Amino acid sequence: MTATPDPAAWSCPAPLRDQPTVVLGHGGGGRLSAELIEHLFLPAFAGTPLAGTLAELGDSAVLDLAPGVRLAFSTDSYVVRPRFFPGGNIGDLAVNGTVNDLAVSGAVPFALSVGAILEEGLDLEELGVIATTMGAAARAAGVSLVTGDTKVVDAGHGDGVYLNTAGIGLAPAGLELGPGRIRPGDAVLLSGPIGLHGIAVLSVREGLEFGADIATDSAPVTALTQALVGGGADLGVSMMRDPTRGGVAATLNEMARSSGTGIEIIEGAVPVPEVVRAACGLLGLDPLYIANEGRVVAVVRPERAEQALAAMRGTAVGAQSVRIGTVTDEHPGVVVARTGIGGSRVVDLPLAEQLPRIC
Amino acid sequence: MTATPDPAAWSCPAPLRDQPTVVLGHGGGGRLSAELIEHLFLPAFAGTPLAGTLAELGDSAVLDLAPGVRLAFSTDSYVVRPRFFPGGNIGDLAVNGTVNDLAVSGAVPFALSVGAILEEGLDLEELGVIATTMGAAARAAGVSLVTGDTKVVDAGHGDGVYLNTAGIGLAPAGLELGPGRIRPGDAVLLSGPIGLHGIAVLSVREGLEFGADIATDSAPVTALTQALVGGGADLGVSMMRDPTRGGVAATLNEMARSSGTGIEIIEGAVPVPEVVRAACGLLGLDPLYIANEGRVVAVVRPERAEQALAAMRGTAVGAQSVRIGTVTDEHPGVVVARTGIGGSRVVDLPLAEQLPRIC
């Protein structure tokens, strides 16, 4: 029998977290990010009329505007380096990223704002390509770019282009998703292969050749999430997330911690493309921690798992969906991977991201 | 009789606008900004489902979500240098700026998103002060900070903190405001003294002492705009704007150009605080072009002008409201100031901003 890890018996690595200044890890989606939000932003923003919403800390806020009118609202900034990479650029990433944050809350995104911070000296032709890519991505995702703002900072500040998109979408009335619905026994589903976005960006940034075609999987997931929760579908979905910064590992850890349950995954069940596996082997990275931008992790009731998987596989973006694990009442708040040789390892929330500035 | 300017007879200054790269002026709210939006972003974003909304190019998009539910949606990024200045910092500026963009569309803002792009090495204590200021500004404006995102960029990129806020508000059903409603004869009202925000920021940035207390006028204007258009008020309002980048001059030019009318202001009627006048004299700046962040320009039907002024003066932020001019069918698209000595001058839309990065 394999031992169940006992987190209480571990000795923690030396804390790196009492530094008085911002470090790259504060933007990495790991523990440092979580601490910055919990200890700095949340107390500062407390006491505003809808503060209860913020406390839920999802990727989107969901607000009841009027009877039957439920609005999801989300924002993300994009500082990816380099701005162009195989399969995409910062423009479609900025559209898909915010579309997907709304989509996994169960909403149908319909409008985005665009805030651009440009660096003096940026080539206008390059900006034109990025804007055109944003327009195409918006049309593909069925959303409109309805309002915007442009600021310019002096040469040497900024990195050519930083983009922010905020988005709004309509969520089905009566739909309740979130960690509070996750129960032991629930199935953990993943919509397809992982790591392609992060490795695609990395390959250009570091000038690496992995000897194979690689391209970001950046794509809108609204069709997939709506197949699960839209139009009155009752597929027993407890919660959905898109595993971006920090990868599938960070998403599963967030789900486990916020729901107070444990999650067990079968490592061999997680689809990792050969090129991602090779690149990770070369660089000493773990594919579970690599960022994605067209993937969904969905937790669903066990009796609906096969039906939910079929619905996911019926969409183009989810054709390779698989079940990767199960929610358990053992090791609450901890994610464990069963390995191929019968062992198990803890899949911890990283302190920061392995690869900064992938999105 | 003073001559009415005839724009057709002018010779244009040499165009500086065929440069192939981004210049600071593209973020200044003047002609270069307008050209970037019209010639680069709008064509790129065209063809998305709600593209008609974007074409209106207001500070906010107004979307009909459901019968009787009309949502205003807006965004702005803030790159002000320095981050702290007399009377405020980048944090309350970022809250008030987006609140006011929504407020002048007639909406009551209720929720904001916050996107922070932090530079590695930023002092966390300073970030705490900025976040606390944002929370206080949100409470003062009656809005909630409901969703957010933090990214970190490498030291030497960025300027400590760039903030983006996007906001949503509910607009009264049936309220129609905009350039299409402006008619010759309408009165042009201004909610108080101008130039304080821009000069306050400039004073710290350039290390200037103007020998007097000066502080930003950054404040939320929702109470004022709702006094004009909220709760079924019928004060004949055609359009409202907050004169930020490019100052009152840019706002009046936008109104004149988009409505196809002319605007005539009485230069002496525009309240300019002594300290702003002195600073502008020293620096060769025109107060009409200095940015504000707690002011409103409202165009109202002439028969309601006195009533509207009284409503504005009944609010704390609008206590010093005055009438500064009149809409005319002469010189369409052009703003003219009558000067104290009986002459007139054209108040042109600046090519770029006199003072970059004031907001």
Domain presence at residue B127:
yes
CB-CB contact of A93 with A78 (8 Å): yes
Instruction: Say which amino acid occupies B163.
Output: L
Same domain, A82 and A121: yes
**Given B51, B59, B66, which is nearest A66 (Cβ)?**
B66
**Given A26, A28, A148, which is nearest B75 (Cβ)?**
A148
Same domain, B163 and B77: yes
Q: With contacts defined as CB-CB under 8 Å, which chain A residues touch B123?
A: 20-22
Beta-sheet pairing, A144-153 with A262-266: unpaired
CB within 8 Å: A152 and B25: yes
**Given B69, B146, B153, which is nearest A159 (Cβ)?**
B153
pLDDT recorded at residue B314:
98
Going by the DSSP 8-state scheme, the letter that residue B7 receives in this structure is: G
Same domain, B307 and B250: yes
CB within 8 Å: B150 and A74: no
End-to-end CA distance of chain A: 41
Please tell me which residue of chain B has the smallest CA distance to A59: B147
Residue A260, phi-psi category: left (phi > 0), alpha (psi -120 to 50), beta (remainder): left
Domain presence at residue A15:
no
Peptide bond into A82 cis (omega under 30): yes
Q: What percent of chain A has pLDDT over 90?
A: 69
Could you read off the pLDDT of A294-334 as tens digits, one per residue? 999 999 999 999 999 999 999 999 999 999 999 999 999 99
Domain presence at residue B305:
yes
Same domain, A277 and A200: yes
Element (H, E) at A251: helix A247-259
Domain presence at residue A313:
yes
Same domain, A194 and A303: yes
> Considering only CA atoms, which of A321, A107, A312 is closest in space to residue A227?
A312
CA–CA distance, A210 with A203 (Å, rounded to integer): 8
CB-CB contact of A25 with A33 (8 Å): yes
Q: Which pLDDT band holds residue A5 (cuts at 50, 70, 90)?
A: very low
CB within 8 Å: B152 and A24: yes
Q: With contacts defined as CB-CB under 8 Å, which chain B residues touch A123?
A: 20-22
Q: With contacts defined as CB-CB under 8 Å, which chain B residues touch A51?
A: 144
**Given B125, B145, B150, which is nearest A33 (Cβ)?**
B150
Same domain, A198 and A166: no
Same domain, B140 and B187: no
CA–CA distance, B181 with B258 (Å, rounded to integer): 10
Q: Which of B16, B18, B22, B357 has the highest number of chain A CBs within 10 A, making it the mutation to test binding with A?
A: B22
Query: At CA B342, angle to CA B338 and CA B347, rounded to 5?
Result: 25
pLDDT recorded at residue A274:
93
Residues 6+ apart with CB under 8 A from A52: none
CB within 8 Å: B118 and A75: no
CB-CB contact of B121 with B162 (8 Å): no
Give the number of A-B residue pairs with CB atoms closer than 8 Å. Answer: 293
Same domain, A255 and A327: yes
Could you read off the pLDDT of A120-153 as tens digits, one per residue? 999 999 999 999 999 999 999 999 999 999 999 9
pLDDT recorded at residue A55:
43
Average pLDDT of every residue of chain A = 89
The complex scores an ipTM of 0.91
Residue A10, phi-psi category: left (phi > 0), alpha (psi -120 to 50), beta (remainder): beta
Could you read off the pLDDT of B217-268 as tens digits, one per residue? 899 999 999 999 998 888 999 999 999 988 999 999 999 999 999 999 999 9
**Given B59, B139, B152, which is nearest A47 (Cβ)?**
B139
pLDDT recorded at residue A2:
40
Q: With contacts defined as CB-CB under 8 Å, which chain B residues touch A97?
A: none
B266-270, Cβ contacts within 8 angstroms, sequence gap of 24 or more: B266/B324, B266/B325, B266/B337, B266/B338, B267/B337, B267/B338, B267/B339, B267/B340, B268/B339, B268/B340, B269/B322, B269/B323, B269/B324, B269/B325, B270/B190, B270/B194, B270/B322, B270/B324
Could you read off the pLDDT of A18-60 as tens digits, one per residue? 678 998 889 887 788 888 888 899 889 887 766 544 444 567 8
Q: What percent of chain A has pLDDT over 70?
A: 90
Please state the pTM of the whole predicted model: 0.91
pLDDT over 60 (residue A13): no
Buried b (16+ CB within 10 A) or exposed e, B313-346: bebebbeebbbbbbbbeebebbbbbbeeeeebee
Q: With contacts defined as CB-CB under 8 Å, which chain B residues touch A59?
A: 147
Q: Which pLDDT band holds residue A212 (cuts at 50, 70, 90)?
A: low
CB within 8 Å: B44 and A134: yes
Q: Which pLDDT band holds residue A199 (cuts at 50, 70, 90)?
A: very high
Same domain, B164 and B203: no
The CATH number of the domain holding residue A318 is 3.90.650.10
Q: With contacts defined as CB-CB under 8 Å, which chain A residues touch B24?
A: 120, 152, 154
CB-CB neighbours of B270 under 10 Å? 18
**Given B26, B69, B113, which is nearest A150 (Cβ)?**
B26
CA–CA distance, A119 with B290 (Å, rounded to integer): 23
CB within 8 Å: A50 and B116: no
Q: Which of B16, B21, B63 has the highest number of chain A CBs within 10 A, making it the mutation to test binding with A?
A: B21
pLDDT recorded at residue B341:
86
Domain presence at residue A119:
yes
> Nearest CA to CA, how far is A92 from chain B (Å)?
12
Chain centroid offset of residue B257 CA:
16
pLDDT recorded at residue B118:
96
Q: Is A51 exposed, middle or buried (0-12, 13-18, 19+ CB in 10 A)?
A: middle
Could you tell me which residues are beta bridge partners of residue B322? B190
Q: Which pLDDT band holds residue A223 (cuts at 50, 70, 90)?
A: very high
pLDDT recorded at residue A205:
85
Q: With contacts defined as CB-CB under 8 Å, which chain A residues touch B70?
A: none
Residues 6+ apart with CB under 8 A from A123: B20, B21, B22
Structure tokens at B73: 């949606």
CB within 8 Å: B152 and A45: no
Please tell me which residue of chain B has the smallest CA distance to A114: B75
Domain count, chain B: 2
Structure tokens at A205: 């940034």
pLDDT recorded at residue B13:
37
Written as tens digits, the pLDDT of chain B (359 aa) is 344 444 444 333 333 456 789 988 898 877 888 888 888 988 898 877 665 454 445 678 989 888 888 999 999 999 999 999 999 999 999 999 999 999 999 999 999 999 999 999 999 999 999 999 999 999 999 999 999 999 999 999 989 999 999 999 999 888 889 999 999 999 999 999 999 999 999 888 878 777 667 899 899 999 999 999 998 888 999 999 999 988 999 999 999 999 999 999 999 999 999 999 999 998 889 999 999 999 999 999 999 999 999 999 999 999 999 999 999 999 999 999 999 888 999 999 877 666 667 76
Q: With contacts defined as CB-CB under 8 Å, which chain A residues touch B54?
A: 144-148
CB within 8 Å: B45 and A135: yes
> Nearest CA to CA, how far is A274 from chain B (Å)?
30
Domain presence at residue A84:
yes
Q: Which of A108, A142, A173 is the last residue of a domain?
A: A173
> Nearest CA to CA, how far is A330 from chain B (Å)?
32
pLDDT recorded at residue B232:
81
Structure tokens at A75: 């924002």
Residue-number span of the structural domain to which B241 is assigned: 179-346
Same domain, B129 and B271: no
**Given A49, A119, A135, which is nearest B22 (Cβ)?**
A119
Domain presence at residue B330:
yes
The CATH number of the domain holding residue A101 is 3.30.1330.10
For tokens 């729901």, the residue is: A259
Domain presence at residue A62:
no
Instruction: State the angle between helix axes of A90-103 and A222-229 in degrees (0 to 180), rounded to the nearest 10.
Output: 10
Mean pLDDT over A3-32 rounds to 63
pLDDT recorded at residue A58:
62
Same domain, A156 and A117: yes
Same domain, B196 and B340: yes
Mean pLDDT over A160-180 rounds to 93
Instruction: Say which amino acid occupies B346.
Output: V
**Given A74, A76, A150, which is nearest B27 (Cβ)?**
A150
